[in-house]
Amino acid sequence: MSRIEVFTGIERRRRWSAEEKRRLVSAAFAPGAVVSEVARRAEIHPNQLYRWRQDLGPTSAGFTEVVVTGAFPPAVPAPAPGPTGTAMIEVVIADRTQLRLPVSTPPALAAAVIGALVQR
């Protein structure tokens, strides 16, 4: 049996507090969430969630804060040429992991390898 909500009086719209809007937007745009399912549970149109996300501003955009400090790790010596004398791209990750790739490495492969190292 479904629930029916009857609005009486002149005002026939629901009022959502800022905290309720934030909670619903967070739930709708969380990893793995489906916006239409969250909207259906809240009995609103999915477009309303997109509008609230826009109104709430960039804090709910899913980006993380980046902090740049003046502390840099010691300089890494220049890479030696590869075994065949080819030019190399060297990537040093914050945990001091070093990766050397030939310049001829396809960009998609290089991005996948770097992404895998950063996530570990």
pLDDT digits (tens, 9 = 90+) for 59-70: 544 556 666 766
Q: Does residue 53 sit within a domain?
A: yes
What domain count does the chain have? Answer: 2
Q: Does residue 92 sit within a domain?
A: yes
Q: Does residue 81 sit within a domain?
A: no
Q: Does residue 5 sit within a domain?
A: no
Q: Does residue 83 sit within a domain?
A: no
Structural domain that includes position 43 = 18-60
Using pLDDT thresholds of 50, 70 and 90, give the confidence band for residue 1: low
**For the whole prediction, is pTM greater than 0.75?**
no
Rounded to an integer, what distance in angstroms lies between the CA atom of residue 52 and that of residue 29? Answer: 12
Q: Does residue 55 sit within a domain?
A: yes
Q: Does residue 104 sit within a domain?
A: yes
Q: Does residue 36 sit within a domain?
A: yes
Q: Which residues of 18-38 are buried (b: 16+ CB within 10 A; e: fewer)?
A: eeebbebbeebbeeeeebeeb
pLDDT at 14 over 70: yes
Rounded to an integer, what distance in angstroms lies between the CA atom of residue 24 and that of residue 14? Answer: 15
